[in-house]
Every structure is written in C-alpha cells, then in structure tokens.
Copies of this chain bind each other. A is one copy, B any other.
Amino acid sequence: MSLLIIGTLAFDDIETPAGRAANEIGGSAAYAALAASFSTPAAIVAIVGEDFPKDTLEQLRSRNIDLSGVEHAKGASFRWAGRYHENLNLRDTLDTQLNVLTQFKAELPPALRDSEVVFLGNIDPDLQLSVLRQLNRPRLVGLDTMNYWLESARPAVLRVLERIDLLIINDEEARLLSGQHNIVKAARAILRLGPKRLLIKRGEYGVLAFGDESIFAMPAYPLEEVFDPTGAGDTFAGGCMGFLAREKGNLSGTPMRRAIAHGSVMASLVVERFGLRRLWELAPADIEARRQAFLRLTDFHGA
C-alpha cells in the first residue's frame, strides 16, 4: 500500500555545533516522504510558494512520491530557522515565517481520498480533522502533534485522537498531553484517549512503544557525529509508517516492532548530514548495514 503524508515543505536555516546551512529544503512532509519512499510509494499533501525549487519537486517525483496534492500558492514558502545547543536535545527557534502555510487547506485530490495508510504530520488539528473527513476508507492513520497545539487547541487535538490508530510524539509532549510525569502512566492515559498504539520518541535515548501486550523499547544508535537533528522525528515517523504501509497497515507485535526498528535506522542516518542530504544519497546497502548495527547494538540473548 502507498502512504499518504500531510505536512509541510519548507526552507530551513540551521545552525548546529557541526556547522550551519541556509535554505536547506525541509519540512515534515519532505523528511517523512523521502524516508518512506525506501519502503513504499508515498504521496504528499502540502503547500509551497513560488520560491520552492522545481528541481526538488522533480527529484521527489523521481522517488515515486506523488505530488498531486501539493498546492502551489503565491508568495514565499514556509521558513524556519533554528540553532541547536551542544546538547542536541535542545534548540532555539530563531525565526518562523509561516508565509503560504497560512493559506493551507489540506484538500485532497479525489484520487488520494482512497488512501488507506495515512500520516498526519504536525499541523493545525482542525486541518487534521478535515483530512480525516475527506478519507473514504482509512485503515491506518498515524498522527504527530506538538506542544503548541496541545496548549492552544487541546479540544481539537482530543477529537483527532479519538479517530486515529497510532500516535507518534516525544516524551515532553506525552507528559503535557497526559498530565502524568511517569512515562508508563502517561502512556496508559493517552491510550484511553483513542489511539491503539503510542510511540514515544526520546531523542538520543530512542523510542518506547505502548499499546501492545508488552512495552517495546528501541534504543537510538549512539553516533559519534550528529551533524543535524532537524527532521529526525519526521524521518522516524515516515520510515515507520512507510514500513507499516508495506505491511498493509498491520499493527500487531512483529510488524510494528520491525517498523519501529526501521524508523530508528532511518532517523539514525538522516542526522549524519544537514537537512535531507543523507536521505537523497542513501543506498539500500546503507540501510541494511545500519540495521545490522542496530541488531548488534541491542542483542543480549543469542549474543
């Protein structure tokens, strides 16, 4: 099955301890779709301005990514600027220019309304609800959201949560959403809000998965050089959802755990260069090598 992704296409200006990059192509939909494209055909619903490079769109199409849902608007594309601390878990947003994003309606072309596996990236929860209403027969819907919406539009977020299958957020967001500090209690509270599965991202500490009969913990791969953490969460989500789409939306134990491992592999790769660069150049052999490294990282039974 193919994966439908609703999110952003953007320019990022990034400063990390390893250097800086200006006008990097980014946005949640770009990271998620490119990561997913190694597993399954993807489609993007997003909005771009007149400044968004046609070359990039062409490159995305060449990766089997359907851009029929990308709206072209007058004006400039969404733009974000940020600076990471020595502790890469911390970053300051230096600038956010919504630009054409304020006009985004998340309207699905008719052909995309039959999509069965969908990832709703971090956008206004009212738009996420609108997408859900446009879908004819969703089988698996994954969702991302963030502190901003949990604080400013909580009722809308709760309505979305009732209707989705898989929630992918970070630990800080899980605590804010649930009001619980203990991560297991937070997870139980969130699962009562609707999602069947919950993946909690913990940055350099990896991912916890809840909602199955047992908890699953996937460590992150300890890297000596992290060039740029931008998009790691979206790459994880895209890699994971793409894998699940290939498995026909099966959320049961084994495919789900393998999907999480695959998302972790993709996220560990994307941070090795600025922006999307590592994803563009990635070969299947690189993915397999990192997957083997993850197996060695975590194996203590057979070991």
| Chain A residues close to B by CB (< 8 Å) | 86-87, 181-185, 188, 202, 204-206, 208, 214-220, 222-226, 253-254, 257-258, 260-261, 293, 295-301, 303
In the complex, the answer to whether B222 meets A217 with C-beta atoms within 8 Å is yes
Chain B positions within 8 Å of A257 at CB level: 299-300, 303
A141 nearest CB across to chain B (Å): 23
Q: Are A222 and B296 in contact (CB under 8 A)?
A: no
* CB <8 Å contact, B261 and A300: yes
What is the minimal beta-carbon distance from A214 to any residue of chain B, in angstroms? 4
Contacts of A208 in B (CB 8 A): 222
CB atoms of B219 and A260 under 8 A apart: no
A185 neighbours in B (Cβ, 8 Å): 224
Kindly list chain B residues whose C-beta atoms are within 8 Å of the C-beta of A204. Answer: 183
Contacts of A261 in B (CB 8 A): 300
Sample of 10 A–B contacts (CB below 8 Å): A86-B181, A87-B181, A205-B206, A206-B219, A217-B219, A217-B220, A218-B219, A219-B219, A258-B300, A295-B301
* Complex alpha-carbon distance, A204 and B171, angstroms: 12
Residue picked from A205, A223, A258, most chain B C-beta under 10 Å: A205
Distance of A125 from chain B, by nearest CB (Å): 28
Known: A184-B223, A188-B224, A257-B300. 18 other contacts (CB 8 A): A183-B222, A185-B224, A202-B205, A205-B206, A206-B217, A206-B219, A208-B222, A214-B293, A216-B296, A217-B219, A217-B297, A218-B219, A253-B303, A254-B303, A261-B300, A298-B298, A298-B300, A299-B301
Bound: A86/B175 CA distance, A: 12
Asked if A300 contacts B216 (CB within 8 A), the reply is yes
A151–B303 Cα gap in the complex (Å)? 38
User: Which chain B residues lie closer than 8 Å to A225 at the CB level?
Assistant: 182
Docked CA distance A231–B193 (Å): 36
Residues on B with C-beta less than 8 A from A301 are: 295, 299
Distance from A188 Cβ to chain B, minimum over Cβ atoms (Å) = 8
Q: A297 to B210, alpha carbons, bound, how many Å?
A: 11
Q: Is the CB of B215 within 8 A of A297?
A: yes
A182 surroundings in chain B (CB, below 8 A): 224-226
Q: Which chain B positions have C-beta within 8 A of A260? A: 300
A301 to B296, CA, bound (A): 11
Residues of B within 8 A of A220 (CB): 217
Are B222 and A258 in touch, CB under 8 angstroms? no
A-B pairs, top 8 by smallest CB distance, nearest first, are: A217-B219, A257-B300, A205-B205, A184-B224, A214-B296, A254-B303, A257-B303, A261-B300
- A185–B226 Cα gap in the complex (Å)? 11
Min CB distance A257 to B, Å, is 4
A205 / chain B contacts, CB cutoff of 8 Å: 202, 205-206
